[in-house]
Amino acid sequence: MDEIELSRQLERVHADCFGWAMACCRHDRDEAEEVLQTVYLTVLDGRARYDGRSSFRTWLFGVIRRTAASERRKAWLRGLLLKREAGSLTPDVVAPPDAEVERDSRADSLRHSLARLATRQREVLQLVFYHDLTVEDAAAAMGVTAGSARTHYARGKARLATLLGDARDL
Amino acid sequence: MTIDDNELRRRFAQMREAEREGAPGFAQTLGRARARRNARTTWRVRPVVLGAAAAVVVAALWLASSRPDQPSAVAPAIGSWRAPTDALLQTPGSDLLGAMPALGASVLDAMIPTTSEQGA
């Protein structure tokens, strides 16, 4: 696959990749963008090669997941987390309409509940419910066996449903 | 109260919708990635160039300090040098003073030729 074809493929799945990068970076938008930039360069430079064993999107999700983990380790080493916390003050923004507030509130509730799950559980649920992957494809993207992914899926889903139900009852 | 699969799908769909609205475009992401790479390359090259220059300077200084001093073409070697006044130190009978004396022999024997030596 040449660079032009690779770019086309990447563009086709870009929105999905951004969503997955967000999930891998605990919904930190800046970090997700940086991870995605690194991944695109890695793929276009040929440092990560698609071998055709799964779909292009599934393979790319695996690359994003590994890159995010690697970037997180580097950030921890550099002490960037501290800097980010210091610079996390954001300017006031115009209040969004009620419908957006309602939707964002629900999304926040889901994010908070997801954050309380184990990493593998969160990843498999994100891949299945957000990206509509099968559990088997999710296992390929996560680099685990299908059986292990099914276990994480069942446990994670039950825990998430409980967490969301508790939040709704409050 | 728990939530079923459909409700979970609906919530994830809402989150996806919210995130996609604010997602940067592909061209923008790729453009930023390339700009970042170029900036990194520049910063990576600078230390290499500075390091190479420093290595050249250190090597030049080391070579200059380790090179042996060349002897002058006109200066004589120290082993063969003789003072111009050495001739004044040669006195008559100096060979007698420099030789080991033998028991029973007279200094005069060495100085006065014997009759047999005279006849020869």
Beta carbons of B21 and A114 less than 8 angstroms apart: no
Cross-chain CB nearest to B30 (options A40, A158, A165): A40
**In 3D, which of A158, A144, A139, A123 has the Cα closest to residue A58?**
A139
Beta carbons of A21 and A131 less than 8 angstroms apart: no
Higher pLDDT, B107 or B29: B29
Residue whose entry in the numeric block shows the structure tokens 């799908």? B9
Question: pLDDT tier at B40 (50, 70, 90 boundaries)?
Answer: confident
Chain A residues with CB inside 8 Å of B23's CB?
14-15, 18-19
Contacts of residue A160, defined as CB under 8 A and 6 or more positions apart, other chains included, come to A113, A114, A117, A121, A125, B3, B8
pLDDT of A64 reads 94
> What value does the mean pLDDT of chain A take?
84
Q: Tell me: the pLDDT tens digits for B11-35? A: 899 888 888 888 899 999 999 988 9
Answer yes or no: do A111 and B24 touch at CB < 8 A.
Answer: no
Answer yes or no: do B15 and A110 touch at CB < 8 A.
Answer: yes
Answer yes or no: do B22 and A104 touch at CB < 8 A.
Answer: no
DSSP structural state of residue A48? S
Cα distance from A57 to chain B (closest Cα, Å)? 15
Cα distance from B52 to chain A (closest Cα, Å)? 27
pLDDT of A93 reads 47
pLDDT of A106 reads 65
Beta carbons of A124 and A85 less than 8 angstroms apart: no
Question: pLDDT tier at A154 (50, 70, 90 boundaries)?
Answer: very high
How many residue pairs from chains A and B have C-beta atoms closer than 8 A? 85
Q: Which residues of B touch A (CB under 8 A)?
A: 1-5, 7-9, 11-12, 14-20, 22-26, 29-30, 32-34, 36-37
Q: Tell me: the pLDDT tens digits for A70-126? A: 988 888 887 755 766 566 555 444 455 565 556 566 667 888 899 899 999 999 999
Beta carbons of A113 and A127 less than 8 angstroms apart: no
Write down the ipTM of this complex.
Answer: 0.72
Write down the pTM of the prediction.
0.62
pLDDT for residue B82 is more than 70: yes
Amino acid (one-letter) located at A111: R
Answer yes or no: do B20 and A107 touch at CB < 8 A.
Answer: no
